[in-house]
Structure 1
Amino acid sequence: MLCVLADGTGRNIWILLRDKTGAEGQRIAWEDLGMGRDDAEFDLPVNSSYIERLQDLGVVVRSSSRWLNAISGRVSPEIERRVLEQDFVLGVQSVRRTRRPKIPQAPSARPVTNWKGLQSQYGPAFDQMAQTGIIPLHSLGFTGAGVRIAVLDNGFHYTEHPAFREKFRLIAERDFINGDNVVSDQSGQPVTGDETRSSQNLHGAQVLSLLAGYESDRFVIGVAPDAEYILAKTEENRTELPTEEDRWIAGLEWADSLGARVVNSSLGYNIWDDGSGYAPGDLD
């Protein structure tokens, strides 16, 4: 049974689970969002029987997270009470905030002296690259080779963008909004409609061009033109709803499963279209 809440009384929650099942069938207790567990245990999937049991209770399951060992769902007050009575449920709450780690000081790059010559080499990208300190890194040979980068955004019309014709290395792409494997413009999409007549995939392509862009004839160079890229389309332009956070988590875990070592996500949420959201203190 999958119960659809139509009376407007439901709320979206994370349902935290008490355990996972190990590779050899053993029970692994899961507390404090997996604090102290190793990478292999974080990658164990959410128990599918728990998802089915929650659906039987009437939970509208939106997504699940193997890292959090939790299930995102929409519930009414009565269904939430029944969820908390289940022996496999640890509790319900919003996604937990964590403290930022201290960033180690990076070694100093050797100074760049030939700025005039580099200006012609980088073309229109020179100002932004100089301001962010990328040019000295390029002079040391750091152009992204051997690094797999995931970008989570609203879409990427990279097939029509000249900055991606020469060097762009695409590993995988996934549209978490419409449920297919194309992140560039399409017409007749079930959620985003005719993307050929909208800006649905514009922002992601702009961000991607800053990272992966390379046009030798126009002297345009991005931050990491030699890296490999994974593209996840998680943000719908027309609405701002909590389900976009679920897509974001799904996209992040998918990218990790493909070996992403760096993630760029130029997205942020505060006030949702339904009036809910976050206070300034929640955003750190």
Structure 2
Amino acid sequence: MNKKFIFALTILASLLFSEFAVAQKYWVKFKNKNGTPYTTSNPSAFLSAKAIARRTNMGIAIDQTDLPVTPSYVTQVDGVSGVTVLYRSKWLNGVVISVTNTVALTTINSFTFVQSSAPVNKYKIVMPVIDRTVLNPHNENQKTQSPSAFNYGQAAGQASMIGADCMHNYGWRGQGVTIAVLDAGFKDVHIDNVFDSLRLQGRLKGTRDFITGDTMVFEDHTHGSMVLSCMAAIDPGNIIGTAPKANYWLLRTEDVGSETISEEYNWIRGAEFADSLGADMCTTSLGYTTFDGGLNDHTYSQLNGKTAPMSIAATMASRKGMIVLNAAGNEGGGAWNFISVPADADSIITVGAVDPLGVKASFSSFGPTSDG
């Protein structure tokens, strides 16, 4: 056989059998939770005492969706050559995997307990640059005096608009409430003086990074820091947050270097984690519509709370007894215009944006959901 022809066949074969030269992510959904060692009669094996108490106090039964994914299913998937299980979801009953070849994916789809699989590929884009001076809490020139005894500074308008100043005067400042904040990062929260009381009073309960798998969230994006400041900051004359005495968990689920459906599954992990530790509230100022490369793009017709993975999980989080809040989105007036995922979820609070006069902000996304 001609050597050039043999070489060409070799190259072709290598391309065919290494189709996933770079590992791809897939969502693998299971059919059931058969064979699980966990039972609803022993919830302390998978839920914290606080999470169990919340369900009990609200009359919410512990059911099959609370049970962890069947461990033997995870073990079998993870045991396939070229596959690594990255994380699992008990609410949606499945796992996100990293896979390096099509043969492995075929093997997984042949398992009797696997219902389906779908790509959640990742494409990197340029990270946006955020101008921190716009909302810099240390800018002395931005400090103003508030007529309130709490000296809200620039936050006086928003506190008054939603009645937070009235609640604070009655002593309702978030004491005893645990709030999970899911965002893109919380840069400098560990050193910023507006969060001194949060740290020193032990109300920063913990952190998790569901992108990197560690607890380091203070070196990433500033977006979560700014969101947190609206609630937790205490810097008289500059800003007083709306829940300055609450407890907080900071959970990083958004990777600003990409926009893929993988981030919806990161959020699901974060929401399940917040539920399991007993958080009372789960708040997110993120939303998803279309993705890099057009893969897994949502359409408006899908915004019915029953289609997008993140929306299904947001509904589930609410039904587990957490108050779930999400931004409507910043697509108003743009090509998309409508609310984003998971703002379409059932039983959550979707929040739009207004200007200082209470008029809808031009960028705030429009409703309703596609199913009305």
Give the aligned partner of residue 210 of structure 1.
230
Aligned equivalents of 1:53, 1:39: Cα separation in 2: 27
Give the aligned partner of residue 197 of structure 2.
166
Q: Is the CA contact 1:172–1:231 (under 8 Å) kept in the aligned structure 2?
A: yes
Q: Per-residue deviation at 1:166? A: 2.3
Q: Per-residue deviation at 1:60? A: 5.2
Root mean square deviation of aligned Cα: 3.3
Give the aligned partner of residue 158 of structure 2.
128
Give the aligned partner of residue 184 of structure 1.
218
Give the aligned partner of residue 29 of structure 2.
15
Q: Is the CA contact 1:159–1:184 (under 8 Å) kept in the aligned structure 2?
A: yes
Aligned equivalents of 2:18, 2:69: Cα separation in 1: 23
Aligned equivalents of 1:165, 1:4: Cα separation in 2: 52
Q: Per-residue deviation at 1:139? A: 2.9
Tell me the secondary structure at the aligned position of residue 151 of structure 1.
Answer: strand
**Does 1 or 2 have the higher relative contact order (CA < 8 Å, sep 6+)?**
1
When residues 50 and 167 of structure 1 are mapped into structure 2, their CA distance, relative to the original with a 3 A threshold, is closer
Q: Which blocks of at least 5 consecutive residues in structure 2 are unaligned?
A: 1-16, 42-59, 121-145, 303-340, 345-372
Counterpart of 1:133, as a letter, is G
Give the aligned partner of residue 69 of structure 2.
46
Give the aligned partner of residue 175 of structure 1.
209
The aligned length equals 237
The one-character-per-residue Cα deviations of 1:42-66 (angstroms, maximum 9, x if unpaired) are 3322122212222345655342111
Of stretches 82-91 and 262-271 in structure 1, the one that deviates more from structure 2 is 82-91
Q: Per-residue deviation at 1:232? A: 0.7
Aligned equivalents of 2:116, 2:231: Cα separation in 1: 40
Aligned equivalents of 1:182, 1:10: Cα separation in 2: 25
Q: Per-residue deviation at 1:89? A: 2.7
Aligned equivalents of 2:18, 2:84: Cα separation in 1: 7
TM-score, scaled to structure 2: 0.55
Counterpart of 2:88, as a letter, is S
What are the within-5 Å matches in structure 2 for residues 131-142 of structure 1? 131-142=161-172
Counterpart of 1:182, as a letter, is M
What are the within-5 Å matches in structure 2 for residues 1-284 of structure 1? 6=20, 12-20=26-34, 21-23=36-38, 38-39=61-62, 41-57=64-80, 61-73=85-97, 82-92=107-117, 117-118=147-148, 121-156=151-186, 157-168=188-199, 169-185=203-219, 200-216=220-236, 218=237, 220-276=239-295, 277-282=297-302, 283=341, 284=344
When residues 19 and 133 of structure 1 are mapped into structure 2, their CA distance, relative to the original with a 3 A threshold, is same
When residues 220 and 24 of structure 1 are mapped into structure 2, their CA distance, relative to the original with a 3 A threshold, is closer
Q: Is the CA contact 1:62–1:246 (under 8 Å) kept in the aligned structure 2?
A: no
When residues 9 and 126 of structure 1 are mapped into structure 2, their CA distance, relative to the original with a 3 A threshold, is closer
Tell me the secondary structure at the aligned position of residue 87 of structure 2.
Answer: strand
When residues 245 and 253 of structure 1 are mapped into structure 2, their CA distance, relative to the original with a 3 A threshold, is same
Q: Per-residue deviation at 1:130? A: 1.9
Tell me the secondary structure at the aligned position of residue 150 of structure 1.
Answer: strand
Q: Per-residue deviation at 1:202? A: 0.6
Aligned equivalents of 2:230, 2:96: Cα separation in 1: 33
